[in-house]
Structure 1
Amino acid sequence: MNNVAFLNNSGENDWGGVENWIFKIAKALNKKGHKIFIISREESKLYKKAKKIGLNTKNIARISSAAFINPFQILSLSKYFKKNDIDTLFFCSSPTFKLGTIAANLADVEHIIYRRGSAKPISNKFYNKFLLNKISYFIANSEATKTKSLKYFSDFSDKKVKLIYNGVNLDKYKNVSIKKNIYSEFKIDKNKLLLVNIGRLSKQKGQKYLIKAVDKLRNSFDKFNLLLVGTGPKESELKNLVVELSLEKYVKFIGFRTDIPEILSQADFMVHTALWEGCPWVVLESLAAGLPVLATDSSSLPEIIEEGKNGYLAKDKNVESIADKMLMMCQQANLKKLSKGARETAERRFSFTRVVNETEKCFYKKK
């Protein structure tokens, strides 16, 4: 078994795709017998959650973008790697990539792995090219992430690139026990279709295009309600837009929720209008719940959504296209067929067990 470390730079209130991936993978690898070390800021949620379940934790000061020229932080981390015989290191951000790669090379860490979950280019800097050549593997969670991230590094070895999509616990979203009836809680007519959008209320998630599409949809079909699940910096702006368009009858903001499986199991379909993504957990969770997905054709979403099988794709940032596809799904007589296709997609491609096994293969060879 291996001594596996995860280097993270999250702040006190950070909990997103990166933190979620690290925590889930760390727990799973620990269960398989690997010794896990979480290196993060002690005020972070990741550090606290890891410590609570008994994983080895180390506090680290905030890692700046110039960490690779901070000799004290480099040497301190390298010393920690040597002391604990770390043979595998994962990191998921630009600052941790820079610091971790140098410190791990100084400590002769055997497997240095950069896992990237955002479909944005790594900046075209000479030191990034140098450091990329010093890692063992680059894990991308989608083809879009791989292509965009390595846009300026066409000579990076394909042998070092591993494509590992995100995955979910399939059992968690099957035969869900309903404790809260979402229709009763928010006084929704049971004869109306229930559409959901789950995610941070932010520019990236594109909810303003969704709300404008709802304004168009109601002129052709009005037997629906849309639940916006989540909070974020654009919340006030989006609520004002709903009032401005007189959509209070159709759109409900229900804030942060912990009962996502229950919400998904009661909805008719998911609408995901993100402007860019790596491999969105919420879309995979929807598929696992047997919930068809209408998504925009940005980033990795066309890799996940199979038109007519588990959902449909609308044009990115295009209100008319989103409204047209919403109408198509609202009038769809075979939502049950799409629901079956959604679950089949999740089972075939997006199980968390597959993610763990493929990630483990990057550093561990069973004897």
Structure 2
Amino acid sequence: MRLIQFTASNGWRGHEQKIIYLYEAFKKYGYVEDQWIMCPEDSEVYRVASSKNMQIIPYNYKKEYDLGLAKDIKRICEKHRVDVMLIHSSKAHTLAVMSKLFYRLETSLVLCRTLIKRVDTNVLRKWKYNYDGIEKIICVSQPVVESLKPAVKNHDKFCVVGSVTDIEKFPKQAPIGILHEEFNIPKDLKIIGNIAEFTGFKDHYTWVDTVEILVNRNNIKAKYILVGKGSLEEDIRNYVAQKGLSEHIIFAGFRKDIPNILPEFNLFMFTSNNEPTGGVLLESYACKVPIVAAKAGGIPEVIVDGETGLLAEVGNPTDFADKVEQLLADEALQKKLTGNGYQFLVENFTKEIIAKKFYEELKATMKS
């Protein structure tokens, strides 16, 4: 198989990390004959792929409906004799469809979808999801499939392949006091943390409300750390200040050292209310950090309640606080959940396993 992974995204989130992970796994395990990443020349994907000496096809992204770029896509696929194009963003989806529709691109098109968001509210968007040239839609979880079903007529196009994590990237499984030292946190205080972009569905408001309850109960001596950046960060900072929690909650900003700081958490508290799966939960498994997460979206496909973590009611800070106290008070339960979680990760979400599943789905679309 000769493969192009195609994105028009400039940012860096879990989906962009997946592109890199898949490239590495396809190469390591010999699933493809040759492969490329096609991405904007000013994107984070380009920067990361370049640093890893991956084969890149950079382009100057101007607009979603760029006929010139759509024509270039056909030329590029013919030049490299590409069998399959794996599409990773909505704008890339549009451009690939235009290439097939207007320039008779013969390469098989497969869409990778990681958002829980309906697409039937826009006529053009709905049309491109039903376009015959899209041969398969690989979704990261069943809730993602369900969100697309109202728009897509042929449900046989759907399949589910879960999130992926590189275990080798997270070798550290015990705290050594990095965050305690950096933020001058007394050694006898636990650290309860979250790593997430400050955006609506991550529901930082419930996270802060939970901290308020825990602080008022005073059963746990802890500091609370939020890692990330985003458009709602200032709103959340103001909300924390209004509740008088500024001395309890630390805003750690965007970090590039997640494999080092994640094991410093005594507990990972994840309040996202519409999460496709939550790749950071898999990273917590890798670091053997106990988890309390919302029973929302695809999270129950990643967290087995009572076996690999604890699930709390969406948007219910009291339930979150109860689960946090329950878990931190029970070392045997922590050991059980982290041990099971690590094994669950190894058996279901490693680069080798997920890359093989992707390969099988992509191979099925190849023209004989």
Give the TM-score normalised by the residue count of structure 1. Answer: 0.89
Does structure 2 retain, via aligned residues, the 8 Å contact 1:89–1:104? no
Question: In structure 2, what is the equivalent of residue 85 of structure 1?
Answer: 81
Matches of 2:248 and 2:307, distance apart in 1 = 27
Does residue 298 of the first structure (1) align with residue 288 of the second (2)?
no
Do the aligned partners of residues 332 and 82 (structure 1) sit closer, same or farther apart at CA in structure 2, a change above 3 Å counting?
same
Question: In structure 1, what is the equivalent of residue 307 of structure 2?
Answer: 309
Does residue 283 of the first structure (1) align with residue 281 of the second (2)?
yes
Deviation larger for 293-302 or 334-343: 334-343
Structure 1 residue matching 2:223: 3-state secondary structure: strand
Does structure 2 retain, via aligned residues, the 8 Å contact 1:9–1:63? no
Matches of 2:253 and 2:329, distance apart in 1 = 28
Question: In structure 2, what is the equivalent of residue 171 of structure 1?
Answer: 168
Does structure 1 retain, via aligned residues, the 8 Å contact 2:9–2:89? no
Question: In structure 2, what is the equivalent of residue 341 of structure 1?
Answer: 340
Matches of 2:223 and 2:55, distance apart in 1 = 46
Matches of 1:246 and 1:129, distance apart in 2 = 47
Question: In structure 2, what is the equivalent of residue 319 of structure 1?
Answer: 317
1:95, CA displacement in angstroms? 2.0
Q: Over aligned residue pairs, what C-alpha RMSD do you find? A: 2.4
Alignment deviations for residues 203-248 of structure 1 (CA, whole Å, 9 cap, x no partner): 2211121111111112222412211111222222222222222223
1:180, CA displacement in angstroms? 6.0
Does structure 1 retain, via aligned residues, the 8 Å contact 2:110–2:134? yes
Do the aligned partners of residues 258 and 47 (structure 1) sit closer, same or farther apart at CA in structure 2, a change above 3 Å counting?
closer
Q: 1:95 aligns with which of 72, 91, 101?
A: 91
- Consecutive unaligned residues of structure 2, counting only runs of 5 or more, are none
1:323, CA displacement in angstroms? 2.3
Q: 1:263 aligns with which of 261, 264, 275?
A: 261
Question: In structure 2, what is the equivalent of residue 19 of structure 1?
Answer: 16
Question: In structure 1, what is the equivalent of residue 204 of structure 2?
Answer: 207
Question: Which AA in structure 1 matches 2:263?
Answer: S
Does structure 2 retain, via aligned residues, the 8 Å contact 1:180–1:262? no
Does residue 122 of the first structure (1) align with residue 119 of the second (2)?
yes
- Among all aligned residue pairs of Structure 1 and Structure 2, give the percentage whose two residues are the same amino acid: 22
Q: 2:187 aligns with which of 190, 209, 212?
A: 190
Does structure 1 retain, via aligned residues, the 8 Å contact 2:348–2:354? no
Matches of 1:48 and 1:122, distance apart in 2 = 30
Matches of 1:293 and 1:245, distance apart in 2 = 25
Question: In structure 2, what is the equivalent of residue 181 of structure 1?
Answer: 178
Matches of 2:97 and 2:63, distance apart in 1 = 14
Matches of 2:296 and 2:353, distance apart in 1 = 25
Alignment deviations for residues 71-95 of structure 1 (CA, whole Å, 9 cap, x no partner): 4332222122112211110112222
| Count of paired positions | 356
Do the aligned partners of residues 174 and 52 (structure 1) sit closer, same or farther apart at CA in structure 2, a change above 3 Å counting?
closer
Alignment deviations for residues 161-205 of structure 1 (CA, whole Å, 9 cap, x no partner): 221101212233344586762222222233232211011122221
Matches of 1:357 and 1:298, distance apart in 2 = 27
Matches of 1:315 and 1:80, distance apart in 2 = 48
1:348, CA displacement in angstroms? 2.1
Matches of 2:197 and 2:140, distance apart in 1 = 20
Matches of 2:238 and 2:48, distance apart in 1 = 36
Question: In structure 2, what is the equivalent of residue 112 of structure 1?
Answer: 109
1:62, CA displacement in angstroms? 2.5
Alignment deviations for residues 318-347 of structure 1 (CA, whole Å, 9 cap, x no partner): 222222222322333432222212212212
Structure 1 residue matching 2:361: 3-state secondary structure: coil
Do the aligned partners of residues 316 and 86 (structure 1) sit closer, same or farther apart at CA in structure 2, a change above 3 Å counting?
same
Do the aligned partners of residues 178 and 295 (structure 1) sit closer, same or farther apart at CA in structure 2, a change above 3 Å counting?
closer
Deviation larger for 133-142 or 169-178: 169-178
Alignment deviations for residues 51-104 of structure 1 (CA, whole Å, 9 cap, x no partner): 343333333343644x2xx54332222122112211110112222112213424
Structure 1 residue matching 2:202: 3-state secondary structure: coil
Matches of 1:331 and 1:178, distance apart in 2 = 18
Question: Which AA in structure 1 matches 2:37?
Answer: I
Give the TM-score normalised by the residue count of structure 2. Answer: 0.88
1:141, CA displacement in angstroms? 0.6
Q: How does 1:13-162 map to 2 (within 5 A)?
A: 14-31=11-28, 32=30, 34-62=33-61, 64-65=63-64, 67=65, 70-104=66-100, 106-109=104-107, 111-123=108-120, 125=123, 127-131=127-131, 133-153=132-152, 155-158=153-156, 160-162=157-159
Alignment deviations for residues 89-138 of structure 1 (CA, whole Å, 9 cap, x no partner): 011222211221342472211x321000111122353523541x322221
Does structure 2 retain, via aligned residues, the 8 Å contact 1:207–1:273? yes
